Structure 1
Amino acid sequence: MKKYTLIILMAMSSVAALAQNKWNTEPYLTKSLSQAAIKEAFVRTSGGSISVSGVEASQARIEVYVSPNNNDKNINTEELKQRLDDNYTLEITDKDHELHATAKSKFGNIDWRKSVSISFKIFVPVQVATNLTTSGGSIRLANLAGDQNFATSGGSLHIASVSGKIKGRTSGGSIQVEDAKQEIDLTTSGGSITANNCDGIITLVTSGGSLKLNQLNGTINATTSGGSVTGSGVKGELITSTSGGSINLTEMACSIEASTSAGSLRVQMSEVGKYVKLNTSAGSIDLKMPPKNGLDLDLKGDRVNASISGKFQGSTETDRIEGKLNGGGTLVQAHASNGRVTLRFE
């Protein structure tokens, strides 16, 4: 086992060559992992960001970045080393195909004038599982395959080209995920979520931001308590809801259930799935469907307008349409408690 403590870190000759104004762009320490064959990475820092990227084994390494939290660009190398020595513990070990990297304060609360941010950029083989935690920075994952478990108390999450069981949490940042697949479970308490070109079982939850869903395929459950929902090109099954915004979905080729408590719903279906269920408590519904499909219609609102063409059996009233179109089939349910419902076929 190789253990790099702060004393060794301070002795690294590369530190002395750092420019005073490049603490965030040049690594404080670089350690090769090319011979370690890392399969799992455990990383924890109290105030910095974490990035993990999949690379060829020969390029595997860990980079440590240290910068003053008070944005003092004039701090010199010796002062920065002294702050680390006095207030922080930094350890990096690799053993039995596991990487452990930890940065933490020695005393809990530290005078902000003497505090630093310690971040990690990690480059490991693609087939690696991670367990990452930071209390104040962002987390980025790219080009990985395996179980990924990560959390930050105050930063954003960025996931790109990752497959496996992906579970991420942030208490105060946004989430961006793209080109990911298998099992995706992402939650933020205070930011927006953008998901592009993902496949699998997808769960997205935000308590205070918007949802943007594009080119997703699989079983998708996406909810927000205080933002709008927009999306395009979703296949499979989509269940989405918002407590305080509108929903606008286009080119849907899926089974869909969408609801809002305080906004309008606009949905355009390019292909019919097993069901379409739309509900709003304080807005209108505008639904476009492809023609000539067999449908079971259940439409309710202050006023209901439907451009029905084909064989229809059922009842039509000003505020309600119920019956079978073209012999029946896919359930199309649209309920607006305080708004109109419009159904068009295009």
Structure 2
Amino acid sequence: MKKITAYSFALLLTLATLATSFASLALDKKPFQVKEFTLNGVGKLQAKTSGGSIKVTGGSGNQVKVMVFVTPANWKKRLDAPSPEALAKYTIDVRQEGNTIYAIAERKDKGWNKEDALSIGFEIEVPEQMACNLHTSGGSINLASVTGDQEVKTSGGSLDFKNIKGNMNAHTSGGSITLDDYQGNLNAQTSGGSITIKDAKGRVKAHTSGGSIQLHDIAGDIDAHTSGGSIHADITSLGKYLTLETSGGSVHATIPGGEGLDLDLEGNRVKTALTNFNGTSDTRRVKGTVNGGGIPVKMSTSGGTTELAYRL
């Protein structure tokens, strides 16, 4: 037992040392390239990389600062600088055309060799009014404090948004989506993770095939669907409709009381208070009107409980 304990301690110590080394490396990382530009009006950003993350932050002024970070994609070589031979196989294009900023990193050939593969990421500071088109095939995307139309897509990481105003399409095939403080029309879709949205106003469409959906302090039109998890929604103000559907978990929503509603609730068990109700109800289905009818509220699950509560 003592040998096992000693071995476990040594292993934990080694892991802690490695974690500290990587943390120090992350803090001390220096950009491979830095470029600055001046805009003369509302700007657009086109950022694309095949093997790294993208982080965009809005601020005051009309300056754009693009920082390029390059590291070996092979984890065994992460502490080493990228070799000239590996760099020669990539194109890094950071430039300005009018009020459009381009930050593009891509491999010259389409082959993949893990020994010389690079992770090329961007950290970009932009004016607040900036329409962004961000795309990466192998990393996460962070976007904060911008106004305008946003197109965001990753095939291999998570999406994290904060303080966004404007219309946005956000799609990931391999990670979660998190959003805090949003105003506009949102289309958020993931095939492999959860969706969490806090403090949003406008139209929200949130679809996932592999996780739960959490909606907190939401006002507006809401359409949330998941095939593999539960849905929890805290609605401060209803819009034109509320639709919450899952095939693999429970559905719970809290909405303002006193509204005229057209209810359609379905699940293995349905729980709600029915006041001024006209329609049909049993333990598995409630369909009818509340307070004379009005806003369509559809909640359904094939694998759990559907519960609708009212905020007084």
> TM-score higher than 0.5 here?
yes
2:249 partner SS:
coil
Quick one: distance in 2 between partners of 1:131 and 1:51? 12
Quick one: distance in 1 between partners of 2:220 and 2:53? 31
Query: Are the counterparts in 1 of residues 210 and 226 from structure 2 also a CA contact under 8 Å?
Result: yes
C-alpha root-mean-square deviation of aligned residues, in Å? 3.3
Query: Are the counterparts in 1 of residues 187 and 204 from structure 2 also a CA contact under 8 Å?
Result: yes
Paired letter, 2:124: I
Give the aligned partner of residue 50 of structure 2: 46
Paired letter, 1:39: G
Paired letter, 1:127: Q
Q: Percent identity?
A: 32
Give the aligned partner of residue 297 of structure 1: 278
Paired letter, 2:282: G
How far did residue 277 of structure 1 move?
A: 1.9
Pick closer, same or farther for the CA change 1:109–1:219 going to 2, 3 Å. same
Pick closer, same or farther for the CA change 1:248–1:141 going to 2, 3 Å. same
1:57 partner SS:
coil
Quick one: distance in 1 between partners of 2:218 and 2:273? 20
How far did residue 59 of structure 1 move?
A: 5.5
May I ask how many residue pairs the two structures share in their alignment? 283
Pick closer, same or farther for the CA change 1:25–1:236 going to 2, 3 Å. farther
Quick one: distance in 2 between partners of 1:181 and 1:23? 33
Cα-to-partner distance string for 1:27-53 (whole Å, 9 max, x where unaligned): 222212246666000111001111111
Structure 2 length normalisation: TM-score?
0.80
Paired letter, 2:245: S
Give the aligned partner of residue 8 of structure 2: none
Paired letter, 2:45: A
Q: Structure 2 matches for 1:84-103, cutoff 5 A? A: 84-85=87-88, 87-103=89-105
Q: Structure 2 matches for 1:98-177, cutoff 5 A? A: 98-177=100-179
Quick one: distance in 1 between partners of 2:173 and 2:244? 21
1:236 maps to which of 235, 238, 241? 238
Pick closer, same or farther for the CA change 1:146–1:337 going to 2, 3 Å. closer
Query: Are the counterparts in 2 of residues 133 and 151 from structure 1 also a CA contact under 8 Å?
Result: yes
1:82 partner SS:
helix
Q: Which runs of 5+ in 1 are unaligned?
A: 1-19, 254-270, 305-319
Query: Are the counterparts in 1 of residues 211 and 227 from structure 2 also a CA contact under 8 Å?
Result: yes
Matched, 1:82 2:85: yes
How far did residue 177 of structure 1 move?
A: 1.0
Query: Are the counterparts in 2 of residues 162 and 181 from structure 1 also a CA contact under 8 Å?
Result: yes
How far did residue 132 of structure 1 move?
A: 1.3
Matched, 1:286 2:271: yes
Query: Are the counterparts in 1 of residues 195 and 206 from structure 2 also a CA contact under 8 Å?
Result: yes
Pick closer, same or farther for the CA change 1:129–1:212 going to 2, 3 Å. same
Structure 1 length normalisation: TM-score?
0.72
Quick one: distance in 2 between partners of 1:61 and 1:223? 38
How far did residue 218 of structure 1 move?
A: 0.8
Give the aligned partner of residue 200 of structure 2: 198
Query: Are the counterparts in 1 of residues 66 and 123 from structure 2 also a CA contact under 8 Å?
Result: yes
Cα-to-partner distance string for 1:108-138 (whole Å, 9 max, x where unaligned): 1232121110001111111111111111111
Matched, 1:68 2:72: yes
Paired letter, 1:273: E
Q: Which shows bigger deviation, 67-76 or 212-221? A: 67-76
1:57 maps to which of 58, 61, 69? 61
Query: Are the counterparts in 1 of residues 49 and 135 from structure 2 also a CA contact under 8 Å?
Result: yes
Give the aligned partner of residue 329 of structure 1: 292
Quick one: distance in 1 between partners of 2:309 and 2:105? 59
Quick one: distance in 1 between partners of 2:143 and 2:264? 35
Quick one: distance in 2 between partners of 1:338 and 1:124? 45
How far did residue 244 of structure 1 move?
A: 1.4
Quick one: distance in 2 between partners of 1:225 and 1:344? 23
How far did residue 194 of structure 1 move?
A: 0.3
Paired letter, 1:277: L
Paired letter, 1:229: I
Quick one: distance in 1 between partners of 2:300 and 2:170? 34
How far did residue 103 of structure 1 move?
A: 0.4
Quick one: distance in 1 between partners of 2:188 and 2:220? 15
